[in-house]
Amino acid sequence: MSLTIDDRAIASTLLLESGDRLYNMADLEEGRTQEILAAIKQIRQKISWKPDKAQIHLAKRIRLGHLSSQATLEDYQSLIRAILNNKEAKLYIFIYESIIYPTVVANFEQRLWLVMFGLTGILETAFPPNNPELYLANPAFLYLGFLKDWEQ
């Protein structure tokens, strides 16, 4: 049985209370698994930003101390690629108003980073949450497991 996005949001809230938040590919709506995998493949091949957003995101990461003051867009995108290709990366989906955003989470230089993008492969954001456990405990995030397990 496949769950709808609304069912998953309700189930996520219920499962949070039991502490069990792991979903698997069979739980996703038909076709969503392939869309998620295609988006991951696309963003790995080419990091695409929304128009005029790349430099804004870079400046914010520098301002918040997430990147050095000398960091370039290429440095930021190299970090994003490293997270997307990390063999120990975890895969989540973030659901906002019924829209799915695949989210890859991995360590980079002793800091947990989150890379979120749309099903079209367009980057939404990449940053290290201040409190990763609390941030990812938001019921809008559904943990799917290790990215490598999805790609088998």
% the chain with pLDDT above 70: 80
Q: Give Dmax over CA atoms of the chain in angstroms.
A: 51
Residue 8 CB partners (closer than 8 Å, separation 6+)? 23, 27, 95, 142
Please report the pLDDT score of residue 150 as a whole number: 86
Angle between helices 32-45 and 73-84 (to 10 degrees): 140
Query: What does the pLDDT look like over 82-120, one tens digit per residue?
Result: 999 999 999 999 999 889 999 999 999 999 999 999 999
Record the pTM: 0.81
Two tokens, residue 48:
């695409």
The two tokens of residue 124 are 């939404």
Instruction: Give the residue extent of every domain in the chain.
Output: 5-150
Contact 117, 101 (CB under 8 A): yes
Q: What is the pLDDT of residue 43?
A: 97
Percent of the chain with pLDDT over 90: 72
Which element (helix H / strand E) includes 150?
Answer: helix 147-150
Coil, strand, or helix at residue 107?
A: strand
The pLDDT of residue 101 is 96
Q: Is 40 exposed, middle or buried (0-12, 13-18, 19+ CB in 10 A)?
A: buried
Residues with pLDDT less than 50, the chain: 1-21
| 100 close to 119: Cβ distance less than 8 angstroms | yes
The predicted structure's pLDDT at residue 78: 97
Give pLDDT, residue 20: 39
CB-based contact 87:76 (threshold 8 Å): no
